[in-house]
Amino acid sequence: MEKIKNISGITRFSFIELFGPILIITAASCLIGFSSASLMLTVQFALCYFVMVLALQVFVGNSGVLSFGHGAFAMLGAFVSGLLTAPVRIKNNALSMTDLLQSIADIQVNLYLSLLIAAIVGGVVAGITGVFLMRLNGLAAGIATFALLGVAYNFFFNNTKFGPGSQALPGVPKFQNLFIPLLLALVALVLVYLLNVSSIGRTLRATREDNLAAPALGINIIRVRRIAFALSGALAGLAGAMYSHVAGTVQVQDYYLGFTFLTLSMLVIGGSGSIWGALVGTLLVISVGQVLLMMEQGKAIFGLSIDLPNGARAIFIAATLVVALLWRSSGVTNGKEFAFPNFKKKSN
How far apart, in whole angstroms, are the C-alpha atoms of residue 297 and residue 7? Answer: 44
pLDDT digits over 66-111, tens only? Answer: 999 999 999 999 999 999 998 888 777 755 555 677 777 778 889 9
Q: Which residues of 125-153 are buried (b: 16+ CB within 10 A; e: fewer)?
A: bbbebbeebbebbeeebbebbbebbbebb
The answer to whether residue 268 is domain-embedded is no
Q: Is residue 120 part of a domain?
A: yes
> How far apart (Å, rounded) are the C-alpha atoms in residues 282 and 265?
9
Q: pLDDT tens digits, residue range 48-78?
A: 999 999 999 999 999 888 999 999 999 999 9
The amino acid at residue 332 is V
Counting the structural domains of the chain, the total is 1
Q: Count how many Cα atoms sit within 13 Å of the Cα of residue 258 in the half-sphere of its side chain.
A: 8
Cα separation of 239 and 56, whole Å?
11
Q: What is the pLDDT of residue 11?
A: 63
98: in domain: yes
How much is the pTM?
0.90
Contact 106, 97 (CB under 8 A): no
DSSP class of 254:
G
Give the per-residue pLDDT at 124.
97
CB neighbours of 254 closer than 8 A, spacing ≥ 6?
Answer: 78, 243, 247
pLDDT value of residue 302? 65
Contact call for residues 51 and 188 (beta carbons, < 8 A) = yes
Assess if residue 335 is contained within a domain: no
Do the domain assignments include residue 295?
no
Range of the domain at 111: 8-254
Compute the distance between CA of residue 77 and CA of residue 84 in angstroms, rounded to an integer: 11
pLDDT tens column, 131-151: 999 988 888 999 999 999 999
Residue in 227, 323, 284, 252 with CA at minimum distance from that of residue 49: 284
Residue 242 in any domain: the answer is: yes
pLDDT of residue 174: 93
* CA–CA separation, 42 and 31 (whole Å): 12
Instruction: Give the list of residues 6+ apart from residue 325 with CB closer than 8 angstroms, or none.
Output: 268
Give pLDDT, residue 2.
38
Backbone φ and ψ for 303, nearest 5 degrees, come out as 80, -5
**pLDDT under 70: residue ranges of the chain:** 1-11, 94-99, 210-218, 300, 302-303, 342-348
Instruction: Tell me, yes or no, whether 164 lies in a domain.
Output: yes
Output the pLDDT for position 58: 93
The whole-number pLDDT of residue 115 equals 96
Per the domain annotation, does 279 fall within a domain?
no
Residue 213's pLDDT is 63
